[in-house]
Amino acid sequence: MADPLPTKDEAIARLEAFQVRLDEAKKLGRAAYDQLFDQAPAGVALHEIDARGLVTRVNARELEILGRRLDELIGKPVWQFSVMKEASERAVEKKLAGGGLRPFVRTLTRSDQVAITAAFVERYLRNARDEIVGIRTTFMPIMGT
């Protein structure tokens, strides 16, 4: 029997802790970061987007959760998998312009058109000049709200 889905608050706490681990791994070097990115805990989806909102990297957990292939996500606008695409696009644009990040809940569409509700926690990706160049997003499915 599968583990029950976490509540929103449980998921956000777990995702925040994982984002901290990713930040720490990044300080250790690219290899440590890549390993943690690719081997996220069960149920933790992870992707990165560039400054245009296009998916540049995604882990296997996210592919499993969304029931999608890598080529269906890479290079695509991240908002295309949200049920509320236009609202999601506006939110991504605002965040990439420096509007700030905070945990949120959104409904996504799997490849089989089944909607899943998930909690999200994000971190900015910055270049050497501390400019925002993208966003790293973790999410996990949660119990219906």
Report residue 115 as tokens.
Answer: 């909607």
Overall pTM > 0.85: yes
Q: Give me the pLDDT at residue 3, please.
A: 67
Q: What is the mean pLDDT of residues 22-40?
A: 95
pLDDT in tens, 81-107: 888 889 999 999 999 999 999 999 999
Give yes or no for residue 2 having a pLDDT over 80.
Answer: no
With 60 as the cut, is the pLDDT of residue 1 above it?
A: no
- Domain chopping of the chain, boundaries: 8-140
DSSP sequence for 23-75: HHHHHH-HHHHHHHHHTPPTT-EEEEEETTSBEEEE-HHHHHHHT--HHHHTT
CATH superfamily of 8-140: PAS domain (3.30.450.20)
